[in-house]
Amino acid sequence: MAEQELARDLGFLEAYTMGVGTMIGAGIFVLPSIAIANAGPASMISFAIGGVVSLLAALSLSELATGMPRAGGSYYYVNRALGGFWGSMVGWGMWSGLMFATAFYMLGFGQYLTYFSDQLPVVVSALIMAALLLLVNYRGVKETGSLQNIIVLLLIGSILVFIAFGIFEVDWQTFKPFNPQGWGAVAATAATIYVSFIGFEVIATSAEEVKNPGRNLPLAMIASVLTPTLLYMVVILISSGVLPMEQIIGSRIPVADVAQQYLGGFGALLMVGGAIMATVSSANASILSAARVNFAMGRDGLLSDWLNTVHHEFRTPYRAILVTGGVILLLIGVGVGIETLANVASFAYLATYALVHVAVMVMRQANPPHYEPDFQLPAVLYPVVPVAGIIATLIILSRMQPLVLGLGLGILTIGIFWYLVYARKHYQIPSMIGDAIVANGREQETPARYRVVVAVANPRTEQQLLDVAGRLAAAHAPAEVIAVNVVEVPYQTALEQEMEFEEQRVRNQRELLDSAREMARSLQVGLRTRAVIGRHAGQALLNILREEQARHLVMGWGGRRKRTGAILGKNIDTLASEASCGVTVVKFGGERDHQVLALVGEGPNAPQAVRQAAAMAKGDPATSLTLLNVQPETATTETDPERRGNELIHTVSDHIGLSEEEFTPQVVISSDIEETLLSETLQFDTICVGATRSTAMTQFLFGSIPERLGERHPGTVLIAREPEYQPRTILQAITERLRARSTSMET
């Protein structure tokens, strides 16, 4: 089924201006005095280093963004590639980095207000403006794109005026000595000023909207990094060459004081106005970005949904904004130094970009399905770019002050602690590291036969499960059914002891599988049986699915959801959430009277449900097949819901190759879709429904409607889902590599 996608409306110029708009911000107005105090005129080299590090990150981000275009930026890419442990660290790091950066911008705002009066307290001014911005974001007052563009043009214009007149006023003698503090100080200063470079990845988060992303996205990101880098370097050059070192180091408003020297009061006022616009715009953008990171983490289960609750009137994530704002106000109020704020924000993003480089290498090696980036680092730059990026960020991080390192590592530790205590229980998306270890793990040889594994444990439902598995396999000839029974043994008991002392259970297992062989004679497919004794039935079946390269798993369900602990049952939960093959869970009801129904919706598993229903109806002329779709009532007449429902039914039936003579379409229009589905299905004895949720979640494995239907319908209900890509765990990957090496040595 087709998913909604965003229109690609952004060309190179639009993407470039978006990136430049976020990069030309507060740092260029606030940081010159701090940078020159730390490294002298050589601080322009610090800005060049920041530009190079950002350029390397931009190239890696371009590949990840065109392969995984989704809200969340670096957090999303690291989370998907490396898993929740690292994702939690990056998420907390980015969130904290944005809060520290916002506090830095607000103190810069307060400093530039002192141009009008030395009596204005910097901290009070910063607190008032930060509170106003939080109120604006809380109420959801929107800043229009045209206003943002005007601000960007004014900022660039003011900087160009500063450069155009200032370049002729430079006293080149002031550059002696050029590097008074040594190259170690230059590297340390690169860490401090990196807060000026944290905005360029906004282009990556908009990858889904960029035209020709394989070309335009990397070019826009590269250009949006190079342009501010050059401007930053020239501003530092002029600032160092116009004012004496002692004067600029002691200045709260360095760029304004420099402009005062050659443009008079007009130039100083122009720079102050630019600084005020830049600090306010940068702070507002950081608060918005923090809310987006919160949303992405909440969507993945790494943060509580409580934090992402939307205000009933303003439609804003007000709790996330209030928590973020509370921390920002606290950082300003307790008197954290402006240089420390800049350093911690830089630490968070440098650590993030180091993991982004790791993520791009993991995704290259794992090569998972659906990861097909429009832009890939060319062979001459891979793996040079990510490796160089990792080394460069680590070198800069190592030059940071102990206090900053302690604060930064403390933030990352909070992310680790949060993952271990909370997020691990709610997070379900595995990492790609295991497949990266194996390398190109998805390129496996597909077995010649379509193998269906059926888990048998109850003699009363064994025949029905084999019938379902046989019908499914027969539709994919050549095929075979593999009947598996697992006897679970406590961890306190050796497996050999179980075979010796639990002879009755083992005998029952053999009888069950012997019975399966007898039943298989009526099937049109071959059957094999496997008897397993293990600690955990679910894990044992997962291992069998991998060994057999099974294409589908069929298992029974009692029809009752658990109120605590497991959702449908311990083993079903494990298999439904971790099996990469297709899965069908069957709840058996009364006697069949040959009326089969498939529910057709827009979800990705609807074709599998129809395919399953067709298999159940095939071969019996007395069995009827109905495809049902329920459409919501609409207040407008633009779209006929009955027509739309019929189009959807025929789209799905055409997709699986079902002719119109083989089924009866039925469309029902209702204001309560769930209750209508539950009532309309009562006239049918066998129901096939596709899972409406593709991964295990807190309340439902397959979705609310399929599971409630399974509980309430008196007949047989089959809940089906399509195969899902499941990356190997790191342990599985290491085991597989060792097994492959052992096999190669034997041969």
Residue 116 burial (C-beta neighbours within 10 Å; 0-12, 13-18, 19+): exposed
List CB contacts of 150: < 8 A, sequence separation 6 or more. none
Residue 735 CA: distances (Å) to CA of 293, 483, 738: 35, 26, 5
Q: What are phi and psi of 271, to 5 degrees?
A: -70, -35
Domain ranges (residues) in the chain: 12-431, 443-556, 586-724
DSSP secondary structure code for residue 419 in this structure = I
Taking CA 596 as the corner, what is the angle to CA 590 and CA 601, rounded to the nearest 5 degrees?
Answer: 120
Residue 183 CA: distances (Å) to CA of 180, 233, 238, 597: 9, 17, 21, 74
Q: How many angstroms separate the CA atoms of 739 and 699, rounded? A: 38
Q: How many angstroms separate the CA atoms of 78 and 88, rounded? A: 9
- Regions of the chain short of the pLDDT cut 50: 1-7, 144-145, 441-443, 492, 495, 497-499, 501, 564-568, 694-701
pLDDT score at 206 = 66
Q: How many angstroms separate the CA atoms of 135 and 153, rounded? A: 26
Q: How many angstroms separate the CA atoms of 664 and 624, rounded? A: 8
Q: How many angstroms separate the CA atoms of 20 and 202, rounded? A: 10
pLDDT score at 1 = 42
Enumerate helices (H) and strands (E) in the chain, giving the number of each.
29, 10
> Is 447 in contact with 493 (CB distance < 8 Å)?
no
SS3 percent helix, strand, coil of the chain, rounded to 5, is 60, 10, 30
Q: CB-side exposure of 253: number of CA atoms within 13 Å?
A: 26
> Is 114 in contact with 290 (CB distance < 8 Å)?
no
pLDDT score at 205 = 66
Is 586-724 the same fold as 12-431?
no
DSSP secondary structure code for residue 726 in this structure = -
- pTM for the complete prediction? 0.76
Put residue 549 in one of left, alpha, beta given phi > 0 → left and psi -120 to 50 → alpha. left
The two tokens of residue 67 are 């392969």
List CB contacts of 80: < 8 A, sequence separation 6 or more. 68, 87, 359, 429, 431, 432
Shortest CA distance to 49 belongs to which of 234, 200, 199, 229? 229
pLDDT score at 562 = 60
- CATH (one of 3.40.50.620, 3.90.1150.10, 3.60.150.10, 2.60.40.2250) for 586-724: 3.40.50.620
pLDDT score at 675 = 84
pLDDT score at 396 = 93
Q: How many angstroms separate the CA atoms of 376 and 214, rounded? A: 8
pLDDT score at 397 = 93
The two tokens of residue 57 are 């990150």
pLDDT score at 72 = 67
Residue type, 101: A
Within 10 A of 234 (CB to CB), how many other CB atoms are there? 18
pLDDT score at 370 = 77
Q: What is the mean pLDDT of the chain?
A: 82
Over residues 663-681, the pLDDT tens digits come to: 999 999 888 887 888 888 8
Domain 12-431 class?
A: mainly alpha
> In sequence order, what are the beta bridge partners of 597?
626, 687
Residue 651 burial (C-beta neighbours within 10 Å; 0-12, 13-18, 19+): middle
DSSP secondary structure code for residue 142 in this structure = P
Could you please state the CATH topology (level 3) that the domain comprising 443-556 is classified under.
Rossmann fold (3.40.50)
